[in-house]
């Protein structure tokens, strides 16, 4: 229920800082690509709506969510971006891999946030079922790619004041 009450996809556009002149890296995991590509679409559309130039969006793919951390680290090292959005989808199914992958990517992205001055946004869906993921990738719970885009613009803006 928490998601229903805090669905940031229904944000007020006037409250979002402009993305003019800002360069954003987006990393998309190929696992569960039906979901992750929708997250990427939501993120890209939102960034452009808020003034980010299409040419300033650097999009790359990694095999799975576990690889998001490494890809994001390389993006930061390239110094070509002001912030990185990491998009993935891990579905529990019946495998303990779910916990290992979720812990790995959560810890990895947290570490990157502490290592670099730029923000790394956690846009990884972690759900029990495919249906729950679809509900968060353009379904009844919004699109978490949109929310990741809004978040990266807010964090970059915050950094300019601190």
Catalytic residues: 97
- Residue 92, classed as helix, strand or coil, is coil
Segment lying near ligand RBF (by CB under 6 A), choices 65-73, 112-120, 136-144, 154-162:
65-73
Among the listed residues 95, 103, 110, 129, the single contact to ligand RBF using CB under 6 A? 95
Residue 40 binds ligand RBF, judged by CB under 6 A: no
Q: How far is CA 112 from the centre of its chain?
A: 14
Residue 130 binds ligand RBF, judged by CB under 6 A: no
Containing 142, the helix (H) or strand (E) segment is strand 142-143
The CA-atom distances, in angstroms, between 128 and each of 37, 104, 118, 133 are 19, 18, 31, 8
Among the listed residues 23, 97, 130, 155, the single contact to ligand RBF using CB under 6 A? 97
Residue 137 binds ligand RBF, judged by CB under 6 A: no
The CA-atom distances, in angstroms, between 82 and each of 14, 22, 42, 54, 118 are 22, 6, 19, 14, 6
Alpha carbons 90 and 34: distance in angstroms, whole number? 12
Minimum separation from the CB atom of position 148 to ligand RBF (A): 15
Minimum separation from the CB atom of position 31 to ligand RBF (A): 3
* Residue number, nearest CB to ligand RBF: 64
90 versus 152: smaller Cβ distance to ligand RBF:
90
Tracing tokens 């095999």 back to the chain, one arrives at 63
Minimum separation from the CB atom of position 89 to ligand RBF (A): 6
Tell me how far apart the terminal alpha carbons of the chain are, to the nearest angstrom. 34
Count of residues in contact with ligand RBF, rule CB under 6 A: 15
Alpha carbons 150 and 152: distance in angstroms, whole number? 6
- Residues interacting with ligand RBF, by CB under 6 A? 29, 31-32, 63-67, 88-91, 95, 97, 101
């Amino acid at each position: 229920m928490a998601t229903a009450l805090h669905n940031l996809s229904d944000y007020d556009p006037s409250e979002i800082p402009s993305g003019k002149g800002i360069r954003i890296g987006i990393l998309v995991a190929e696992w569960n690509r039906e979901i992750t590509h929708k997250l990427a679409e939501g993120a890209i559309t939102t960034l452009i709506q808020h003034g980010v130039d299409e040419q300033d969006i650097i999009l790359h793919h990694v095999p799975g969510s576990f690889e998001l951390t490494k890809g994001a680290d390389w993006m930061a090292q390239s110094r070509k971006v002001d912030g990185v959005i990491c998009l993935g989808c891990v579905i529990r199914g019946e495998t303990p891999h779910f916990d290992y992958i979720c812990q790995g990517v959560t810890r990895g992205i947290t570490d990157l946030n502490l290592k670099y001055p730029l923000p790394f946004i956690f846009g990884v869906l972690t759900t029990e079922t495919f249906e729950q993921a679809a509900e968060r990738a353009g379904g009844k719970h919004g699109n978490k790619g949109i929310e990741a885009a809004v978040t990266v613009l807010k964090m970059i803006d915050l950094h300019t004041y601190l």
